[in-house]
Structure 1
Amino acid sequence: MAKKTNEVWAAGGVVWRPGVSGTAGPADVEVAVVHRPKYDDWTLPKGKAEPGETLIDTAVREIAEETGQHVVLGRHLDDVHYDLGSSRKHVRYWSARAVDGDFVAGDEVDELRWLSVDKARKTLSYPLDCSILEEFARLPADLHTFLLVRHAKAGRRSTYKGDDRLRPLDKLGWAQASALAPLLIAFGAERVHSADRVRCEQTLEPLRERLGVEMHREPDLSEETYRTNPVAAQRRILELAADTASTLAVCSQGKVIPPLMSWWADRDSITLPKASSRKGSVWVLSLNDGRLVAADHIAGPLPTA
């Protein structure tokens, strides 16, 4: 078998909106499927990543280009992989709630249909697309998103002179903080909360400025407080996650987030994906009636290629 000479990454989503009943239960949503005249097929909206993009950027851009819809991303559904000529193609899909926009037919996509999940399943041309749709339908569409961020790079604790609570981001950390703002907005971030450490607050400062909101300080989410009273952090994170009126971005530290996530996953009986919890990483958490039902980890906000 000839070796594949090129690895191609793409991204897209199951774009959904409440159905005619106005609700978003599994049987009531409508999903977007698109027709490509070049291939005469029906697919989920997706497209190839451009240089300098993250796959999150790609998904939002390609969905807008193919459907005209501005979307808010939700849980990661799956990655699919297949051969295309001499290339190996990989496509990452998210649940994507349509916010607004209008479809305009073009050369790449000439028709869009909003269909029930059952009708979409029968319309899609490819089994891999159907498998993504099945994963989408496994949970309710309108899950509540909660964003838990580890602070960006801030140099080394051992070489910082002064009160460690005041240690600021370094040059790379500020680049990560700037890149985190559009990433978190892509997942619908509306409010900003941070452990009361300068490096945590600075990590979300570009997001706070873009949203024009207040920074809410969370002393219970600092490493020092967690070390002596982890129950306070557990209680507070559940209080924040229960606020379904807004999507919160919450920044904490490296000795808080991994044990807190482990406790939360055990509490709600889910299995976490492997995660290194690097600085600038993000947990995209999906909740249903206050219960954690999915947890996706983003290793960092900067493009990897």
Structure 2
Amino acid sequence: MTRPVAPDPDDLTISDPRVTANVLAAGAVVWRWATDGSVEIAVVHRRKYNDWSLPKGKLDPGETPMVAAVREVAEETGLLCHLGRYLGHITYPVTGHRKLKRVDYWAASVTAGEFSVNPEVDVLQWHRVDQVMDQLSYPMDRRIVRSFLRLPPDTATLLMVRHAKAGRSERFTGPDEQRPLEKSGREQARALVPNLLAFGAAEIFSAPPVRCVDTVRPLAEALDADIAREPLLSEKGYAAAPQEALARVRSLVSAATVRVICSQGKVIPPLLDEWAEIDGAALPSARNRKGSVWVLSIAQGRLVAADHLDRALRHR
């Protein structure tokens, strides 16, 4: 295999949290099941750099990392994918510029497509997980693959959304359950659609309040899907029966279908805290702001990873 003849900037990881990247990119560990039941990972050859790497690329203006990851995989490999577990990010200096690039990565399962040579990639190879490390040109790509290998590849995904902005309750004269989204909330609801679809969102459930249902209505219209009401996942329902509410959420996990649940601010944090404690999972620190999303990864019935999308949804 051809290796770079000189040290590449990708070898220079910067982990200092005070360092801010000004070039944003996204990519994926694209995986599939081989005929013998093993897992294979896609590695691409870039003619411009004469290297072997994971598919990735820069965000377009107005694009989020999740949408960019799916688009870049499709452009470089011809494969359509759904994102799964978040694998972390790398940050490194851009050669010849006083800039830093940040690349966020997700696991991505193939749903359709076929590779063809394109302006960026001339070869795609699939390698078993016990061979892929030797095929990658850069240590940072290997670091992302190690993150992928820490958990089973085929985790089920459940997306939990806090409803979008609905204005102050004291300014609404009707019943609180009828309080609608404000203009910025409606914009948030529309912006959620491509990001939820990047994870393969297919079925929708919501607490009954109008602001919850309307948050996922644009997604329902895009999918031509119904929105199932879940009274246990409203603040009143959860307060009356928290264990039943958690059991209901866990029952909605499906290996075959990515489901979206929209709920409220006094439901999501305590419910997830309880779930994580039961299963021994770690939750990242999160403000759980309106319009944010939890991406939950479940393996064999256990919550094994969680990622909170908030700032990532606001990249502009």
Match for 2:88 among 71, 74, 78?
78
Name the counterpart of 2:7.
none
Tell me the TM-score normalised to structure 2 length: 0.90
Name the counterpart of 2:11.
none
Match for 2:262 among 222, 232, 251?
251
Name the counterpart of 1:153.
165
Q: Secondary structure at the match of 2:121?
A: coil
Structure 1 residue 304 displacement after superposition: 2.5
Q: How does 1:1-305 map to 2 (within 5 A)?
A: 7-21=22-36, 23=37, 28-85=38-95, 86-241=98-253, 243-299=254-310, 302-305=313-316
Q: CA–CA distance in 2 between the matches of 1:73 and 1:244?
A: 14
Q: Secondary structure at the match of 1:42?
A: strand
Tell me the TM-score normalised to structure 1 length: 0.94
Deviations 1:1-34 (A, max 9, x none): xxx997211100000111122x4xxxx1111100
Q: Identity across aligned pairs (percent)?
A: 51
Moved runs in structure 1, 4+ residues, more than 6 A? none
The one-letter code sitting in structure 2 at the alignment partner of 1:68 is: G
Q: CA–CA distance in 2 between the matches of 1:160 and 1:47?
A: 45
C-alpha RMSD of matched pairs (Å): 1.5
- Higher mean Cα deviation, 175-184 or 72-81? 175-184
User: Retained in 1: the 8 A contact 2:156–2:297?
Assistant: yes
Structure 1 residue 182 displacement after superposition: 1.5
Structure 1 residue 301 displacement after superposition: 7.1
User: Retained in 2: the 8 A contact 1:282–1:299?
Assistant: yes
> CA separation of 1:303/1:280 partners in 2, compared to 1, >3 Å: closer, same or farther?
same
Q: CA–CA distance in 2 between the matches of 1:59 and 1:277?
A: 23
User: Retained in 2: the 8 A contact 1:71–1:96?
Assistant: yes
Unaligned runs of 5+ in 2: 1-18
User: Retained in 2: the 8 A contact 1:280–1:301?
Assistant: no
User: Retained in 1: the 8 A contact 2:32–2:39?
Assistant: yes
The one-letter code sitting in structure 2 at the alignment partner of 1:41 is: D
The one-letter code sitting in structure 2 at the alignment partner of 1:40 is: N
Deviations 1:255-293 (A, max 9, x none): 100111111111111111111101011000010111000
Q: Secondary structure at the match of 1:249?
A: strand
User: Retained in 1: the 8 A contact 2:160–2:295?
Assistant: yes
User: Retained in 1: the 8 A contact 2:21–2:91?
Assistant: no
Structure 1 residue 227 displacement after superposition: 2.1
The one-letter code sitting in structure 1 at the alignment partner of 2:43 is: V
User: Retained in 2: the 8 A contact 1:176–1:302?
Assistant: no
Structure 1 residue 113 displacement after superposition: 0.4
Unaligned runs of 5+ in 1: none
Q: How many residues align?
A: 296
Deviations 1:160-203 (A, max 9, x none): 11100001111111111111111111111111000011110001
